Structure formats: structure tokens, C-alpha cells
Structure 1
Amino acid sequence: MSKRLLSLALLAGLAAMTGMPAGAADYKEEYKISTVVPAPFPWGIAAEKWAALVGERTDGRIKMKVYPGTQLVSGDQTKEFTAMRRGIIDMSVGSTINWSPQVKELNLFSLPFLMPDYAAIDALTQGPVGEKLFAILREKGVEPLAWAENGFREVSNSKHPIRTPADLKGLKMRVVGSPLFNDTFTALGANPTQMSWADAKPALTTGAVDGQENPLSVFAIAKIHEVGQSNLTLWGYVADPLIFAVNQDVWNNFTPEDQAIVRQAAVDAGAEGVEIARKGLTGGDDSAVTSLEALGVKVVRLSDAERQAFVDATRGVYAEWKEKIGADLVTMAEESIAKR
């Protein structure tokens, strides 16, 4: 006990001499942030902004560095949440899709055609559903701080325009490593193939798969049109919110003052990330779409009736997964969207 008290006294003295908050003397030299993609993707920009803001607001006491490409988990994005929970990763700006294998409730955002617009996304992330999901994450050993956004996921392929579910029949589609995505594309008659983002572009290049689904920002920045993806359909079937989170032990080691700084920096970085992800897609500005058309991409804008055909074709998947995710949570989400 006396050694413990002496140690605390020495730390307090060091903090007083260096200007650090008491208890901060044993912080790590660097905190590693895992992401799937780097800047200039909105996702990577949000993560870099978080690290920069924390560095500025703590005068460099807390140093955070972004490691994109999920390199901290050998490129397997579905292992990111487990690695953070175990302390292999300190922090992450992670996809709700990639974390859903470990947190079933995060499949909510991947329910086909749950969210019809950006207001619906905000109704979930900024309302009681978001609070409930954050509580679930805390129970699993991480501290969630804020939301960002990867965007609505649109579908493309190298064969022909997609206007009806029948147009997907037989197409080999790259999908993320989530059973819900597999079920959705199977219901639409496609042949889904699950693979990581690191493997996706090479597979598109060689023709191992015919198509893929991703936000328009990813399509544009990764230049997916250059690997034969000349047909793009705007259907907004699911969205991909991102979550800023910290390993619970790392979080608990921060002083309350530094916790407040790290959390607010995440909120601010997340807001900027959302703004960037929606640029050219909202407020009457469709430049994100027209810029792709200028590159020769054939863009299909579905009518309400055409989109409804896809909704109808995936209702069985929606109903099945509503029970798997938790009917009460999904109902809460439906009610929040209806009130938006």
C-alpha cells in the first residue's frame, strides 16, 4: 500500500511539474486508430481530424495516429471490433457493417430499404436508437463517442443497367462480410461473394466478380469506373454509419478532463465527416453523381415504383432479420424514422 501511495505521489509531482493532469503521466506514447480506408475518403478524413483535434486540444499530450487499411488486423475488417475490445487496437473509426458480426444489433443499418433518406439516418444515430446502440457497445467493452458516415450504398456492375430485381439475376456481386448482405443479394437473384475491401478491386479488375455496392464517395475516389463498373444504380438500399470508439481500459485510463476532450473531438470530427460524405448529394446539389456521368458512367435513377420493386423483393429478408437483430430495436427505429 505504501509503495502504491508513493507511486501516486510521484505521478502527481510529475504532473505538477509538466503541466499534465494528475494521472496522465502513464499515457501511451501513441494511441493507434484503426480504419478501413485513409484520406481522401470521408472516413479517413474523419479519423485524421479526430487525431489532429485531440493533439491540438491537449497540446500534444495525447498522440493518436491513424492506421488505415485495417493493417492492425492484417486487413480483415470484420476482426476490428474484437481487436479493439481486447486491447490490440486502442481506438477505431469503424463501420457498423464491419462490427455487426460481433454486435448483432448493428445489422439494423443494413436492413434493406429501412432508411429512405439522410433525415432517416440522422433520426437513428441522433435519437434513442443511437443511445441504445451505444449502451450495447459499452456492455461489450468499448466506449463509443460519436457518429460519422460512409454513406448510402449504391450498386454497380460491368454487364448492364440495373432497373429491376431481374437485372441482378445471376450477377456475381462482391459484398462485405455480413450474412445479411449475402441474404439480401441472394433474395434478389444475384450470386453474392463476400470479400474484404482489399480484395474487392482486384476481383473487379480480373472479372472474378461482376459488380459491387458502395457509397458514391468510395466509387469516385477509388476510381471503380476504371475497372469496368460502367453501370451504376442509385437505390440507397442501406447506409453505413461510422462509430468513433475507444477500448474501455484505454478510456478508463484517461482523466475525466481528457475524456471530455477526446469525446468532443470525436463529435466535431464526426460532424465534419458527415458533411464531406454528403457533399454533392444533398440540398439540390447532385455534383457527386454528375461528375461520375462525365466520366462515362451510366447512372440509373430509379422511380419510386422501380425502387418499390426492390423493397418488395427483400421484405422476407427484412422480416427474418428484424427478429435476429431484435424486434423491439427495429420497431424503435421504424418509429423514429416515421417521426423524422
Structure 2
Amino acid sequence: MSIRTLLGAAAGAALAVTLAAPAQAADYKDEYKVSTVVPAPFPWGIAAEEWAKLVAERTDGRITMKVYPGAQLVAGEQTKEFTALRRGAIDMAVGSTINWSPQMVEMNLFALPFLMPDYAALDALTGGPVGERLFEIVRENGVEPLAWAENGFREVTNSKHPIETPADLDGLKMRVVGSPLFQDTFTALGANPVQMSWADAKPALTTGAVDGQENPLTIYTIAKMHEIGQSYVTTWHYVADPLIFGVSHKVWETFTPEDKEIVRQAAIDAGAVGIAAARKGLTDDDTALIEEIEGYGVTVTDLTEAQRQAFVDATREVYDAWTDKIGADLVEMAEESIANR
């Protein structure tokens, strides 16, 4: 065999290997930016970091993701995250349904006051037809949804006194996220809601510019909010804050089918890690986080069914008004899923 023939055979073999290998596509980026609001050790940040780690491991470094917490990719304006993601200004995100609700009104479902009484109810929504429908809506809006994670049930805290009845909120200045539904809910309860980003919330609580706030207890403990006067906690499970792993369609369509599956499964696995972190110490068989909070000298109020019902009644008009905005069919589907959990 001549040298020319040997060289030709070698070149052909090399080409075959190149075509067969899952090599990085020419238009893959050196780094994919992932937006979140809070970093690890918050469960939100844990989920995002786990996603990036798993993708890097499973693609042998062909896809590199870097997490940018603090909503820094949108200059701290967390409610603008989805718009940036949809336009491709952000590659990926682990985003809050609350923060994405200005662009997709259906995401307000999880913020309907007192819709979900427990984790089983939340799982019935994210793991059932409601979750499937919401993913369809996200996809229709230019983002590929991959999996769910969790920021947790949002509980109420303040620096003044225990909150056991709606009257206890009367006149309190309460920091809320930038969502009209949260404004309506706290107004109905007699409070004075003040919208501000998370970046602005802690300084405002420290100075007493606002009296209280609502957030998952993992946020409360990791941010050491007991040290800034938030001495009263009420576990009322009034709304939950599921998170969605999303990829801009502009990025998603550049991935090979094999890499799409890797990125999606990594998100599912990371979501499970994040959910476990969000619920740790907050379940019926594990109350360690509640006990930790009480150990700081904080008063923790766990509402009775009758007490919780008073809050349900006080916010019913808000629930009904927002049902019309979100979509009665979707809300009915959610109520049925919870009833059958």
C-alpha cells in the first residue's frame, strides 16, 4: 500500500471518529451564564450550583455553566430576569415563579393566598397536569423549562409582636416582592406592603424602615434575620415559591439532542437536591430548623386550623379576583389536584 493510500485511510478514520464523537458544536459558548437571586448555601443557590456541576461532569467539560447570584445579570431587578432570558441576554436561570409572573400571569398560581396547605399539595401541582401546563406556557414564551426546584413556603416575620390573627398585621410595614398579588394580599390583611428587591430588604429591616417580611425559613436562618430584629415568626404556609430551571431557546436550539438530554436530566437531579435542602428541618418528622430558630430566642407561632382559616377568609376576595386573572380553568385544575393528593 502506498504512503498516499495510508494517509488517505488515516484521514478517513479520523473523520469518522470526529463525526461519531459528541464533540462540542462550533457555536457552543465557552461559558453559559446562569441567573439566580440568592447563592449557596441557600437551597436556591445549591440547586443552581449542583446543576452546573452535574452538567460539567456529564459533558466532560464541553458545557461550562457559571452561576451569577444576586440577579446581577439584570442589575438586581429580579422581576426582569425572564425577559432577559427569553431574549437571550441570559443563557440560563433557576428562576422563581414569583419573579417570572410579571411576564406570565399564570405563574401567580403559586401566590394565590392559602391555596396550598402543605408539601403534598405543592407536589401535586408541580408533579401533575398543572406543572405540565405551566411548562407549556414557559416554552411558548421562548424558554425551555427543564425541571422544578424549590425556595419553599413563605412564612411571615416581624419585629413588633406575634402574628396570630389578621388584626395583628394591621398597620405593619411589610416588605414584599414586586408582584401586585402580594400587594393585594397584604393590603387585604390590613398591612402596609412595601415592594423592594431582596438586595434592599435586609438594610430596610435593619434600619426599621420596614417592620417585617415574608420568606422561606431557610432564607430567614441563613440570612440571620433574628439578628436584625425579626423576633417573631408565624408559620402560615400562605404561598409557596417553586423554582424552574430554564434555558433560553436561543441557547437550547444550539445543543445537540444528546446534550439537551444531559442538561435536562442534570436539572431534574439538581432540582431534587434543592428541594431536599429547602425542606430540611421543616417537615412533620424533622423540625430541626424550627427548633434552631426558637433557640435564638425567637417566638415561633404555628397557626391552628381555625386561626389559619381566619386568614383564608380575610384574603378570599383577593383569591377570587386573581383567579379570574390567572385563569379559572388553571385554578380549578390546581384545586382538584390538591383535593386528590
TM range (shorter): over 0.9
Deviation at 1:281, TM superposition (A): 1.0
Distance 1:15 1:22 in 2: 12
Aligned to 2:146: 145
CA 1:158/1:293 → structure 2, altered by over 3 Å: closer, same or farther?
same
Distance 2:131 2:325 in 1: 18
| 1:29-53 deviation per Cα after TM superposition (whole angstroms, max 9, x unaligned) | 0000000000000000000000000
Aligned to 2:8: none
Q: Which runs of 5+ in 1 are unaligned?
A: 1-12
Aligned to 1:10: none
Tell me, yes or no, if the aligned pair for 1:15 and 1:24 is still in contact at 8 Å. no
Q: Which runs of 5+ in 2 are unaligned?
A: 1-13
Tell me, yes or no, if the aligned pair for 2:24 and 2:62 is still in contact at 8 Å. no
Aligned to 1:79: 80
Code of the residue aligned with 2:59 in structure 1: it is T
Aligned to 2:109: 108
Aligned to 1:335: 336
Distance 2:229 2:123 in 1: 34
Deviation at 1:15, TM superposition (A): 9.5
Deviation at 1:172, TM superposition (A): 0.2
Is 1:166 aligned to 2:167, yes or no? yes
TM-score norm. by structure 2 comes to 0.94
Please list, as runs of the form range in 1=range in 2, the aligned pairs for 1:123-272 lying within 5 A after superposition. Answer: 123-272=124-273
| 1:294-322 deviation per Cα after TM superposition (whole angstroms, max 9, x unaligned) | 01111011111011000000000000000
Tell me, yes or no, if the aligned pair for 1:33 and 1:91 is still in contact at 8 Å. yes
Tell me, yes or no, if the aligned pair for 1:70 and 1:77 is still in contact at 8 Å. yes
Is 1:48 aligned to 2:59, yes or no? no
CA 1:276/1:322 → structure 2, altered by over 3 Å: closer, same or farther?
same
Deviation at 1:283, TM superposition (A): 4.1
Deviation at 1:18, TM superposition (A): 9.5
Distance 1:189 1:15 in 2: 70
Deviation at 1:21, TM superposition (A): 2.1
Please list, as runs of the form range in 1=range in 2, the aligned pairs for 1:60-71 lying within 5 A after superposition. Answer: 60-71=61-72
CA 1:222/1:14 → structure 2, altered by over 3 Å: closer, same or farther?
farther
Deviation at 1:217, TM superposition (A): 0.2
Distance 1:226 1:292 in 2: 11
Please list, as runs of the form range in 1=range in 2, the aligned pairs for 1:304-315 lying within 5 A after superposition. Answer: 304-315=305-316
Q: Secondary structure at the match of 2:98?
A: helix
Distance 1:113 1:143 in 2: 29
Distance 2:273 2:16 in 1: 33
Q: How many residues align?
A: 328
Aligned to 1:274: 275
Note the aligned Cα RMSD (angstroms).
1.3
CA 1:15/1:239 → structure 2, altered by over 3 Å: closer, same or farther?
farther
CA 1:216/1:21 → structure 2, altered by over 3 Å: closer, same or farther?
same
Aligned to 2:325: 324
Distance 1:164 1:232 in 2: 13
Is 1:28 aligned to 2:16, yes or no? no
Q: Secondary structure at the match of 1:36?
A: coil
Tell me, yes or no, if the aligned pair for 1:143 and 1:245 is still in contact at 8 Å. yes
CA 1:274/1:173 → structure 2, altered by over 3 Å: closer, same or farther?
same
Q: Secondary structure at the match of 2:253?
A: helix
Code of the residue aligned with 2:68 in structure 1: it is Y
Code of the residue aligned with 2:191 in structure 1: it is A
Tell me, yes or no, if the aligned pair for 1:50 and 1:266 is still in contact at 8 Å. yes
Tell me, yes or no, if the aligned pair for 1:15 and 1:25 is still in contact at 8 Å. no
Deviation at 1:285, TM superposition (A): 1.0
Distance 1:19 1:29 in 2: 22
Q: Which has the larger radius of gyration?
A: 2
Distance 1:312 1:143 in 2: 37
Code of the residue aligned with 1:126 in structure 2: it is G
Deviation at 1:284, TM superposition (A): 1.5
Aligned to 1:292: 293
CA 1:64/1:206 → structure 2, altered by over 3 Å: closer, same or farther?
same
Identity %: 75
Q: Secondary structure at the match of 1:253?
A: coil
Distance 1:67 1:151 in 2: 21
TM-score norm. by structure 1 comes to 0.95
Distance 1:283 1:302 in 2: 15
Q: Secondary structure at the match of 1:219?
A: helix
| 1:81-116 deviation per Cα after TM superposition (whole angstroms, max 9, x unaligned) | 000001110000000000001110000000000000
Deviation at 1:282, TM superposition (A): 1.3
| 1:254-306 deviation per Cα after TM superposition (whole angstroms, max 9, x unaligned) | 00000000000000000110011000111411111010000111101111101
